[in-house]
Amino acid sequence: MADLLTVINLRTSFHRPDGIVNAVNGISYSLGYGETLGIVGESGSGKSVSVLSLLKLLRSNARVESGEALLEGRDLLKLSKEEMRKVRGKEIAMIFQNPMTCLNPTYRIGRQMIEPLLWHKEADRTGASSIAVKLLQQAGIPEASSRFGDYPFQFSGGMRQRVMIAMALTCNPKLLIADEPTTALDVTVRSQILNLLQEMKAEYKMSVIIITHDFGIATNFCDKLIVMYAGRIVESAPTVSFVLKPQHPYSKGLLRSTLDIDLNGEKLKPIPGNPPSLINLPSGCAFHPRCEHCTEKCRNEIPELKQIDDQHSVACHMLQEITSV
């Protein structure tokens, strides 16, 4: 079976007075039906911009310089504004980082939830309200029929995120994109939200893309992972393969700096230095100023993403030397 989504050589930049921000530098990946893909990396690595490019939700100074984004064979990047409106919500839905900035504080939750159904003509107002209340119930909102008429400020942070998940599913999309869906939530609520996403994915038979800097979330929820650094993919692998044998020095650094309850008092090891400026990227491999394995070749040549195993690809000049240690 063909993939649901195929992204090919996507490049996105922001044109600013102080220079061009190379936010996404030629990434390619695919997502199958029913799969969950995790896009991982530090802030500023291009994770969110890469998916916002697919939905054409970029700022006015942004440019998709090149690439293709094929949703069931149709290139999203070539669609008109009107055609794109028909895709958003119905075929691809997105859960954003902060639900309080995405929900209109002056409108009741119910009015905001039925809007996609009415826009895409999936139901009349009565039918849309019934669908929305059912989704709120499935999302774990108590007394959903009465909360349907409440305003966003009357919900807690975790409940607002549940509302966002329910809203994203109103038109039964083929692809759900969740951008840091557990940001600012406590550990217990975070676990509940992730479990809810897992349940909804199974029930509605969706494909899911999760954007996160948290490896714990990515490795427990996703079928395969992409690690991004400075707008490029530095490693791509099935989750099991990645957890058992990460290859890129950056991927290893991210794992070493992730809290694990089985560390038995061992200290975390943060990656030295800071991510580079996307306006003035370092020559060669962008990670070389922070890499302990850096060589002259790393400083001068950009490494290609090469397949090293079944579905496992890495962009690193020193891969053989690192793995032989």
Per-residue confidence (pLDDT) for residue 322, from 0 to 100? 66
Token digits of residue 119: 């826009």
- pLDDT class of 215 with cuts at 50, 70, 90: confident
Do the Cβ atoms of 211 and 178 come closer than 8 Å? yes
CATH 3.40.50.10310 fits 5-91+173-324, yes or no: no
Q: Is pLDDT above 70 for 266?
A: no
> Could you say which DSSP state residue 96 is in?
-
Confidence category of residue 310, pLDDT binned at 50, 70, 90 = confident
What is the structure's pLDDT at 262?
A: 59
> Is 39 in contact with 228 (CB distance < 8 Å)?
yes
The pLDDT score that the predictor gives to residue 194 is 85
Indicate whether 318 pLDDT > 60: yes
Give me the residue spans of the domains in the chain: 5-91+173-324
pLDDT exceeds cutoff 90 at 213: no
Alpha helix ranges (H) inside the chain: 47-55, 81-87, 99-102, 109-119, 125-138, 144-147, 157-168, 187-204, 215-221, 239-244, 249-256, 296-300, 319-324
Gap between the Cα atoms of 286 and 226, Å rounded: 17
Is 80 exceeded by the pLDDT of residue 183? no
